[in-house]
Amino acid sequence: MKIDSEKNGNFIKGLCLGLAVILMGAAIAALPFSGGVEGLIHGWKQILIAPCPLITDFFGIGGISATFFNAAICSFACWLIAVVSRAKVNASFLAAYLLVVAHCFYGMNFLNIWPCYIGVILYYIKKKKDFREHLHIAMFSMAFGPLVSEMLLRYPIGDTFEPGVAGFTLTGIFLTLVIGLAAGMVLPGMLEGALWMHKGYNLYNGGLAFGLVGCFLYAFLYKTMGLESSGLIELNNRFYDGIGESNWLFSNLVFIFIFGITLAAGYVLNGKSFKGYGELTQETGHMSNFADRYGMPLCFINFGIYGFMVLGYMNLIMLLTEGVAFTGPTVGAIFAAVTFAAIGQHPKNTWSIFMGYAALFVFVTLVCMLQGREVPWTLSTQGYINGVAFATGLAPIHGRYGWRSGMAAGIISASICTSTAAIHGGFMLFNGGFSAGITALILVPVLEHHFPHMRVKN
């Protein structure tokens, strides 16, 4: 079946615009919980001027309405740039767009996303390449939003920064421009190199690439210069405190609406059928592009079904284990988990990743019980919620090597996901993708050794 790439692009632009509208609708619906319009404006200002290293909960800083508004404005801006510039819109663009949406709940804001974005554009202009074909890479670069905010607001003044007060200085503005633009110009080359390293087994390729760049920047800016990063700020929004951290009903309704309407749209556009979806779920996910092979209607169906699977997992672990619930980072993690539903993820090649996390938790719990120690974490601990969302990027390992290898990937990723942020100081948002990339570097050589006939040729 021949797929019309232009039609695919129009479907993707429609989905992106629709998602921005839904996010804005959620911001409006949440106004009663956030102090009305005045609370939204105040909350968004707090989000804009807050340092936001991993994992900063924008619900806590600015409130629910302001956080959804932040996501809506940033995502709408990305959509508008693509439309006005007549950029190439494909499945990679959709993946980058969804990651922007995801991280607008815990690290990206309308102020800190632009320096690296512009740096990527300048790189392609310098290389005399059409930047419109690479807008997805520019959007991936927004993962350094926390670093930009840190340079602009708190570096190198550290603990003298006053939370809730804009601390702009000429030095901060200069460092923001220099480091942001420089990082953006380096990242395109790193993406290509990272793909070679993990051989396509980590769908969140930017995680490994940007994690390595983040390691260097953190080491140079802090360790080499003899400075200590100040960590998370304490600034709790009083409206958020008033309703608690669960937001269970509101968040579930938002996602049920998003996944439900996407699934319904895919069903209608696919001739009011699920024909072809069974074939799609037989794909390994390795070097796959569902949009090019099956068309976006089936990808919409996959987005909806897989999205409901992720949402079900999140609700289940919140019910069965003690930890956080629907915080800003949790909402962002659900968006992040479905990022590559048009490129490599589907329920059949991701379930083992979730099971790997669960198996490790059961093992740790049993060991701690035998030793009389308190269990140090649960599946609903924030770091592990966000970790598993990105660990699903290891879906190609399950797809090519089977569910046991998928579980092994989940176990390894879960073991290291809360340790990697320290390497880049929490200033790079694709930490789960970084963990997944390291997992692939560990596991893929072992798998290729035992299954040499499946080795990927570079």
pLDDT averaged per 10 residues, the chain (length 458): 84 97 97 92 94 92 96 97 94 97 97 96 94 94 95 78 75 91 91 87 92 93 86 72 74 97 97 96 95 96 98 96 94 97 97 98 97 96 96 97 97 94 93 95 94 74
Whether residue 280 contacts residue 302, with contact meaning beta carbons closer than 8 Å, is answered with: yes
Whole-number pLDDT of residue 228: 81
Buried b or exposed e, range 88-111, using 16+ CB within 10 angstroms: bbbbbbbbbbbbbbbbbbbbbbbb
pTM metric for this prediction: 0.95
Tell me how crowded residue 38 is: count the other CB atoms within 10 A of its CB: 10
Q: Which helix (H) or strand (E) holds 396?
A: helix 395-401
Query: What pLDDT is stored for residue 169 in this prediction?
Result: 80
Question: Two tokens at 52?
Answer: 């936001």
Q: Distance between CA 226 and CA 195 in Å, rounded?
A: 33
Return the SS3 of 159.
helix
pLDDT number for residue 425: 92
Would you state the pLDDT for residue 288? Answer: 92
> Which residue has tokens 């392609």?
124
Q: What is the pLDDT of residue 1?
A: 60
The predicted structure's pLDDT at residue 30: 94
